[in-house]
Structure 1
Amino acid sequence: MNDSLGFRCGFVAIVGRPNVGKSTLMNHLIGQKISITSKKAQTTRHKITGIYTDHETQFIFVDTPGFQTKHRNALNDRLNQNVTETLAGVDVIFWVVEALNVGHEDEQLLKFFPKHVPVILVVNKQDKVKDKLHLHNFVNDLMQRHHFAQMEVVSAKHGQRLGELLQKARLFLPEGIPLYPEEMITDKSERFLATEIVREKLFRYMGEELPYAMNVEVESFTVEESGLKRIHIAVLVDKDSQKGMLIGKSGEKLKKISTEARIDMEKLFDAKVFLKVWVKVKSGWADDVRFLKELGL
């Protein structure tokens, strides 16, 4: 690795309203899936750090939760606080918006950005726009209304123009040696990644039926001498009726979720996994501040 004076290393915050493609963007930037993606809003609840290192730069990505304004409770207040605290300590911000679709919810995020941190406008989902002149005018309008340090139009899903985006971001990172080993892609533990994988399957198979007040926690995570990882995970819901929805008829839905989660874990951990997932009812957990602290939220 080149650790000469020209090497740069710094933190990049990925910010935007729910469903603009923040998690997909980070997963493609680092080349591996560590942040869950879903069409359901508010899937990311923790600051997930992804790391990408090449011969001249180490980018440390922070995938923040989208600001939540529709549901006010202790959980969302804490999520919003996480975003503002994260932005204060980064070197550059990616403000991710959806091509041709910027509204009040997008623009209200700008007021939370620290004035000393450069902001790069990232217009995502360009592949969905057929009228390129319309897209060009859309970008120009945004650039004229707000002061951005740089701009890039990308398709995170298809990996288009992500290299150009990284080169623009590099200019704002300080010179210095890498903070993490070259092969490291995240600072998150396997316990944390296991819960993220289960949560993604829940979002995928439940869709709009998924309870908003739902969380996943590891109850035990052990590694046997053979290398087998034995993982027990509980899904927390608010009501008994939600428990039945998650389990499904004869337990088929939960079995399918567990099987697919186990397969993804084995790929990510490069090891055999025994996974047990069950559903627990804890009424009012999303408004219980003390309980949220215990979960690390």
Structure 2
Amino acid sequence: MNLPSESASLWLRPDWLRPLAFAIGLAINVAVVVLIGQTRLKQPEPLAAIEVAILPSAASPPEAPQEMAPAEPAPEQKAQPEPPPQPAPPPEAATPPEAAPPPVAAPPPEAAPPAPTPEKDLAAERLRAERAAERRKELLREKQEERKKEAQEKEAREKREQAREAAAKAAQAKAAEKKREGAENSGPARAAYGGIVVAELHRLQSIGAQRAQGATGRVHVTFTVGPSGRIVSHSASSADARLSAAAAAIMAAFHAPPPPGGHFTGSTNFTFSAR
């Protein structure tokens, strides 16, 4: 910055302002110089190195790597000291190409089976026919066993049905028999049967008179009629043996319908008189 000349400072009045203006201008120039000295332009960041590996080929020899010319600094940076150059990393060793795997040998072709002869064809056909016949026989046996099993199951079911029907019929017959026996064992039925028995016994009294051989008297007889309608037991109370024999003859000749309930017990009196 230039100092003010005399012509430019003629207008400064009074004179004591001239030294002050000179001092102010000098201070401004010094401050500008100091600021310019302290200000540094920002240095550009170095670019990352790019390495290109060129593999040698059989057709062309390997070429020497070309060195890149350093970029010239900007005009504003010539005044600044350049940073020391950074050492470039060593180039990577070129990897050799992988060797191709050896070719796999193809397996040898299998030998073709020998052509069948007519004899072998006949034997194989006969074997297949025998196996088919055995299979048919086996299937036939299985069907027969299934039919036999079904017949047995059917017969068992029929027997069970018949047994149930027979049991039901027997139960019905037993119930009817009990009902009939109950009706026959009732008081009126037994009284009616007792009248039939007594009438039949007195009808046979003439047979007893022949056995009495002229003996007279009265005999009390207690008897029991069995299921067949005949007297199975009796007892006579008489002091005369001829009267007892006469009562026994009457009991032996007695025969009537089966009693109600299968048995009947009663008693009666026989009177024998001489004629």
Instruction: Tell me which interval the TM-score lies in, with the shorter structure as reference length.
Output: under 0.3
More strand by share: 1
Q: TM-score, normalised by structure 1?
A: 0.15
Q: Larger radius of gyration, structure 1 or 2?
A: 2
Q: TM-score, normalised by structure 2?
A: 0.16
Higher-RCO chain (CA-CA 8 Å, sequence separation at least 6) = 1
More helix by share: 2
